[in-house]
Amino acid sequence: MNNQMHGFVAAENAPLHDMDLARSSGAANLIDNCLGNVEGMTILLVCEDPRHGWYDSAAPDRVHRELLARGAAVRRMMVDLPENRPNADVQAAMNEVDRVIFFSRLGDQGRFNWHYTGPLCVMSYALNEAMLEGGYGSLDHLSMHRLKTAIDEVTLGAENIRVTCPLGTYFEGSPSATATSGSDVVIHRFPMGIPQPVLAEGFSGKAVLSHYLTPTGSRIYTPEYLPLRDPVTAHFEASRITGFSGPADLVAAVEAHYERVARDFGLDGYNIDSWHAGIHPLMSYDQPAALDPLRWSGTAFQHPRLLHFHTCGSGPPGEICWMILDPTIEVDGIALWERGQLHPERFAATRRVLDGDPALAAAFRAPAGPVGVEPAPAAPAFSPAASTPAGSFPADSFPADPATSSQGA
């Protein structure tokens, strides 16, 4: 048996006696708006072991009950942490069902390059009952999907996009490459909280990195993240990192981190694939990011106060993530995001979505919830001798991706 699977339960129509019998709006939102009519179907719930601290058991319990109420049969399997290969037991279980819902990071690994075959799959980013049943999980999924489509229309149809942040991030360019050759995820995401990535090709400037460099959820490696006690600036031209600047010890640590990850997976470490910012008005991350930086970056990325880059590797989502706090994103001179607040009312396409759903419009008028981090202090002054200037990386520092290299998400 694959050691990722703890157990498999075929609960065709078994009652869940220990569950709250109240109807579940978040679970209904997931089922009705991601799966549709499930009567007569067999649904597999792939559930990550709660002992790992990401998912609880109450959220899949809620969905389980709602599926039974809609006439579906339910099978559940508990899985362990993701590995750098598909889970054979999950694939075998998928072959026997009609639909799959992942309450597990296994479903996030292949979001751009799906590792499994078979039925329609939904990846749940609602990690626990509070997220599922609160505003985050209950806000109408179809409205959020319409908003995502409208934001793609606004951003990818622009002539110029300029991005800044309070710490000094500044880059701009054209999204035209995305409109012709960009890619989006291939799994159904719930809740919907992120638009299509914008390719870095056509953009140049600098991104000021703070708090952590984290994985993208694609591959597993250790150490899993790199803490940044002070900001480090990444300089780039189009899709190429040209150098880092900042305190010398942190620059050295960042360079070593990139070199190791690129070497371990045979990747083009200098490459930047793309970037995008969160769009869910009711995303709230209540825990300090320091408790688990991986969980933070893998969950809070849907918050409008966070923009993230996919770097290190030639395809999305890369292997190293840059998180930018409180971005301002100006689309042809109009700020769609302003200091971390999304303003869909400022563009006709997105405003139409708000007009069609008063609850969504009200959500955007409410203050943003916590994001897990506070703004980093400004970078301390340092002398040129204590920093590494942009362009300091040798051109052949990292190996290029081999032609056969897997670019799974």
| Cα–Cα–Cα angle for 55, 60, 63, rounded to 5 degrees | 145
Are β-strands 306-311 and 320-325 bridged in parallel, bridged antiparallel, or unpaired?
A: antiparallel
Q: What is the mean pLDDT of residues 291-312?
A: 96
The C-alpha atoms of residue 209 and residue 207 are separated, in whole angstroms, by 6
- Do 157 and 278 share a domain, yes or no? yes
User: What would the pLDDT profile of 326-368 be if each residue is shown by its tens digit?
Assistant: 999 999 999 999 999 999 999 999 999 999 999 999 999 987 7
The per-residue pLDDT of the chain, averaged, comes to 86
* Reported confidence tier of residue 398, pLDDT bands at 50, 70, 90: very low
User: For residue 195, is it within any domain?
Assistant: yes
- Do 151 and 288 share a domain, yes or no? yes
pLDDT over threshold 90, residue 107: no
CATH number of the domain to which 65 belongs: 3.40.50
Instruction: Give the structural domain span for 91.
Output: 5-138
Number of domains in the chain: 2
- Do 119 and 178 share a domain, yes or no? no
Q: What is the mean pLDDT of residues 41-45?
A: 98
- Do 78 and 181 share a domain, yes or no? no
Q: What is the DSSP string of 80-144?
A: ---BSB--HHHHHHHTT-SEEEEESTHHHHTSSS----SSEEEEE---SHHHHHSHHHHS-HHHH
**End-to-end alpha carbon distance in the chain:** 25
User: For residue 407, is it within any domain?
Assistant: no
pTM reported for the whole predicted model = 0.85
User: For residue 49, is it within any domain?
Assistant: yes
Residue 212 CB neighbour total at 10 angstroms: 20
- Do 163 and 285 share a domain, yes or no? yes
User: For residue 110, is it within any domain?
Assistant: yes
- Residue 122, phi then psi, degrees to nearest 5: -120, 130
